[in-house]
Chains A and B, each alone.
Chain A
Amino acid sequence: MENEQRKELKVTAIASGTVIDHIPAQNVFQVIKILGLDRSKEMVLFGTYLDSRKYGKKGIIKVSNTFFESDEINKIALVAPSATLIVIKDYKVASKSKVEIPDIVNNIVKCFNPNCITNAESVPTKFDVIKDEEILKLRCHYCEKTTTKDDMVFI
């Protein structure tokens, strides 16, 4: 535990805030956007394509003085299902958790159906998450069509 803690904090330690670790290397910018960190007035540090023993290459984000509600953080599960959430208080790991795939996804992903009303008028998208046979699918609340992971385009 001691060792691991030190390693996590190696890049640049933050005094207080949240570390999101084990993000797929190519999805770091999407996570930043989904969480609105591109508009944050706090210090945000991030790394892409870092070496990881478990994952090969990974991404990491550290945000000072910011703590996420689980509803909010779970939005990133679509692009970073294996992400670990580490809450830092006073330079120490206060808690660690995994993101969980939410039941509803609002206004993050576009509906892949070109004839959907959400692609024709300014209607915020809304999906029910279907965790069918291990494959993540999003069922559009409006057109009722299913968007699969390969078709997901982020707003």
Chain B
Amino acid sequence: MKNKSLVSINDFTKEQQLRILDISEEFEKNPTQRILEDFVVATLFFEPSTRTRLSFESAASRLGARVIGFSSASSSSVSKGESLKDTILTVSNYSDIIVMRHPKDGSARYASEVSPVPVINAGDGANQHPTQTLLDMYSIRKTQGTLDNLNIAFIGDLKYGRTVHSLTIALTQFNTTFHLVSPPELKLPSYVKRHIKDRNLAYHQYTDLMEVIPVADIIYMTRIQRERFSDPMEYEKVKNIYNLENAMLAGSKDNVRILHPLPRVNEISLDVDSNPKAYYFQQALNGVFVRQALLATILGVK
């Protein structure tokens, strides 16, 4: 995987994905290792995403790498009209790897093709966010002891949520049974269902969150994002449709864990936070280990 860009989760085979998870585990046990002291990591955030940027920068810093970059397009030469290609070619002179977030779909693939150094996609528009998928897989494996044969429930915006799409497609490699809870207008798109069907796996669709509580090994909550709706009335109708409260978890399995890509709004009540089944903050921390594993592997020191 040395020098290999990561644009879409499918760029890595199942074996490569599992290898990243194994290396992430090593970093969880021993997070501070100065193995990237000779390297410069560029974090180019053409749109702000503080969480993702800090997670990458924390990962790089714990490995001893130096970090350069910018946190929004307005603070960079992009605001002067520089093309993406020129920015990438310039920055690649100063860095060994580029972590990029960009508002346009497909920008990361394009950057990986023009860049002489490897590119890690930290989100390209509504398209892909593969490091989120890997940290979700890591969190599932860690809490369940396996990725195989699980009942995974996704709740909320299954139509526009790229996190759900990528994770669903990745999990079709592991004989997952999918439980899909959404309002009718936010159902999982047919192209994603096609992946499930192609593997002859089962999926069940619901509108009521309570139906999946007793069967799920993972309850993956998502935020319904205002910016995805062209019609504000549509958003108002569905924005608070799912709200997980601690009392609702009474009939849940012992092994169930609640995941959420964060930030949350109203989907999970604060009273869930102290339940040992809540895992979303640990999930975010796991992102640092996964990003350490990716940086170290792609730079060829692991």
Contacts and interface: CB of A to CB of B under 8 A. Distances in A.
Nearest to B103: A115
B91 to A, nearest CB: 16
Interface stretch (B14-22, B106-114, B277-285): B106-114
21 contacts: A111-B106, A115-B103, A115-B104, A115-B126, A116-B105, A116-B106, A117-B104, A117-B105, A118-B106, A121-B83, A121-B85, A121-B110, A122-B83, A141-B109, A143-B104, A143-B106, A143-B124, A143-B125, A144-B106, A145-B105, A146-B191
Interface of A: 111, 113, 115-118, 120-123, 140-146
Given A115-B125, A146-B191, A140 B85 contact: no
B168 interface: no
Interface string B99-133: 00011111101100000000000001111100000
Nearest to B106: A142
A111 B127 CA distance: 14
B150 interface: no
A54 to B, nearest CB: 36
Given A115-B105, A116-B104, A117-B104, A142 B110 contact: yes
Contact of B110 (A113, A123, A144, A145): A123
B110 A117 contact: yes
A146 B8 CA distance: 16
A143 B191 CA distance: 14
Contacts of A117: 84, 102, 104-107, 109-110, 124
Contacts of B105: 113, 115-117, 142-145
